[in-house]
Every structure is written in C-alpha cells, then in structure tokens.
Structure 1
Amino acid sequence: MLADIKKTEDGYIARFERHFRHSVEEVWAFLTENEKLAKWFSELQVEDLREGGLIKFDMQNGTFIDMKILELSMHSVLEYTWGDDIVRFELYPEADGCLLVLIEKLKVMTDHTPKDLAGWHVCLEVISALLDGRTIESRKAEWEKWYEKYVRATAQVAKKD
C-alpha cells in the first residue's frame, strides 16, 4: 500500500501504515536493536536510545551523520531527525499483532523524495518479511517497482501547490 502524501502548513507528510501479525515488542526490536536494525537498514545504528539520544547514519564513505532522537516512548514512539526532515515510528497493539505507522515530515519536496519514499516502502516490506521468516529476492527490483509509483504520487501532490 502506497504512503499517503499530503501538503501541510510547513511542508509535507508521508504516512505509511502496516499491520503485522507480531507483537509491538517484536516490531520495536527491529526499530531499536542494532542487530535487527542492520537486517533491514544496515546504514543505521542506535548509539543512545533515549530522548535526546543519537542514531547514526553510515554514509559508507567513512563518515557518519548524527540524527537526534526527538521523542521516545518505549514500545510506542521513536522520532528522530533525518537531515532537515523528521522520521517518526508509532506502534499500536492490535488483537492479532500491531499497527506500525511511519511518518516522514518533509520540509520540501525534491527530486530525491520519491527515492526516499520508495526506500521506506521497501524497508517496511523487508521488516514484514523478516518477522514472517520470508526473504525478499531483490530489494533493488522492489525499490524500482515502487519508485515509479512514488514519482507519480509526489508529482500529483506537488501539482496541487
């Protein structure tokens, strides 16, 4: 399911929702435990899991970008800076698992935005596969499929400006 992308007063919001047949605790572990985080987003590493703490992004060239944790509520909310933007994960228990909501708050829409959104989309698919004990054959092929859809989706939202 494609992210819902909307214009806001101070930029844009992309909202992804995924239902998992796994507990909040199991999904939370994939967001916050480095061993599990590395399986779906190898460039990220949690350095200090607390409000005001730090997540590092490995640029794969010997440099790292520090991303500050803005809000943390264990097993419920993880929000951190993402360049000029903000990424927020919310988890809600459900009878048969949990709902994960990923919100990216974007200051501006750029040519790179569809790439990032397709990337988040595939990341959520990979988390789902890992939790279910499945593998995704080609993350690149998945990304390419979703990228085209996000190019169209972001163009439609930008057209409304």
Structure 2
Amino acid sequence: MYASLDEAGNQWKLTYKRELPHPTDEVWCALIEPKSLAVWFPAAIEGERAEGAKIRYVFPMGDAFGSEEAAMLGEILHFDPPALLEYTWANENLRYVLEPTGTGGTVLTFCFTFDDVAAAARDATGWHVCLDLLTEYLSGALDAAPDRKKKIEEQWRPLFAHYVESLGPGASTQGPPNGGPA
C-alpha cells in the first residue's frame, strides 16, 4: 500500500499499487472526469482528454495541496482507455496503469516521476493521500470537498512521519506544500 522509491535515470520514481474492488471502467472514469477529480485529485484539470492534448491544472483556493489561485501546465502523453493514462505535471510525470482482476476489480499502478529526491517524503505522502481519497470516493464513502479537506488533515501527519522514516533524511528535507498540513 505504501509507495516504493526508485531511481529512474536522473530522476526519481514513486510507485504505488492498489487492488480496487471496482471495475476498470469505473476506475478510469474517476481518473478523467472533472466531477470525480474534484473529490480526490489536488487540482482541476482543464483541457481535452486526448493523447498530445495540452492541459492546465488549476488549484482551488485554500486547498491543502496548492497555493491560492495557482495554475500549472501539462500535456497528456498517453491516453488509452481504460488501461493507460499518462501526463506531465509541470516537469514531472504521472502514469496510471489499470489492469482488470479475475474477480471484476482493478489493479491500479500509479507512478510519479520527479527530479528532486529531497521532496520524496512530501510527494509520497501527498499522492498516498490522493489515492486513499480515490479509493474512498470509488467506495461511495467520500463525495464532497469538505470531506476531502478533513481527510487530508487527518491523514497527512502520520503518513508523512512514515515516509520520513522509511525514505530517510535525504528524501525528507522538503515539508508540506504551501498551505498544506504542517
């Protein structure tokens, strides 16, 4: 359930693997539909959902992951419904691979590739919380932004402590993002 950290050339990669009891099509929709993303993802994603499309991330005011009215640009690198979604997040990379299980569920493998290992514990915590929110959203246990903010505040500290300990001091020198839980 926790992320693993590996070198990826001159970058670093966090990898998470989650087995979800939901069909692949349902998980796919939660990865791309704005209404779903608003509950579990740290930013709204504006732009066409297609390979090669330019996208824009807009962070809600006061969100625990972004500074007020912040925006970033990205590009969809791979869009192969319902199996593969990959896009850039500024100069970083997010990749989702969905594989159906034999029981009607889905194995979700999420990889986040980034440059600065000093941010690994912080980023591992943030994406871990997002994937927990996605899981709760898919299960029907989370459906509103206030629930999301409360969950982030509850989960951040213990997860960050875990990642600081497991990834070590060199991967832990950057703390929570601006406006995030301390």
Report TM bin, short chain: 0.7 to 0.9
Residues 1:150 and 2:168 are matched in the alignment: no
**Residue 46 of structure 1: how far off its partner (Å):** 4.1
1:108 is matched with 116
**Residue 42 of structure 1: how far off its partner (Å):** 5.0
CA contact (8 A) 1:38 1:45 kept: no
**Residue 105 of structure 1: how far off its partner (Å):** 1.3
How many pairs were matched up?
157
1:41-60 Cα offsets, whole Å, 9 max, x none, are 25222411011113322144
2:152 is matched with 139
Superposed CA RMSD = 2.0
CA contact (8 A) 2:23 2:100 kept: yes
Match of 1:124 among 124, 131, 139: 131
Residues 1:44 and 2:57 are matched in the alignment: no
Amino acid at match of 2:5: I
CA distance in 1, matches of 2:83, 2:54: 18
Give the match's secondary structure for 1:48. coil
CA contact (8 A) 2:96 2:109 kept: yes
TM-score (norm 2): 0.78
- Higher strand fraction (1 or 2): 1
CA contact (8 A) 1:47 1:56 kept: yes
User: CA 1:84–1:42 in 2, change beyond 3 Å: closer, same or farther?
Assistant: closer
Give the match's secondary structure for 1:22. coil
Where does 1:67-86 land on structure 2 (aligned, <5 Å)?
A: 67-86=74-93
**Residue 23 of structure 1: how far off its partner (Å):** 0.5
User: CA 1:8–1:64 in 2, change beyond 3 Å: closer, same or farther?
Assistant: closer
CA distance in 2, matches of 1:16, 1:138: 19
**Residue 113 of structure 1: how far off its partner (Å):** 2.8
1:80-137 Cα offsets, whole Å, 9 max, x none, are 1122211101100112200000001122312x33222111101111111111122476
CA contact (8 A) 2:42 2:130 kept: no
Gapped regions of structure 1 (runs ≥ 5): none
**Percentage of identical aligned residues:** 26
Amino acid at match of 1:149: H
Amino acid at match of 2:151: S
CA contact (8 A) 2:46 2:58 kept: no
**Residue 154 of structure 1: how far off its partner (Å):** 2.7
1:26 is matched with 26
1:29-49 Cα offsets, whole Å, 9 max, x none, are 111000111111252224110
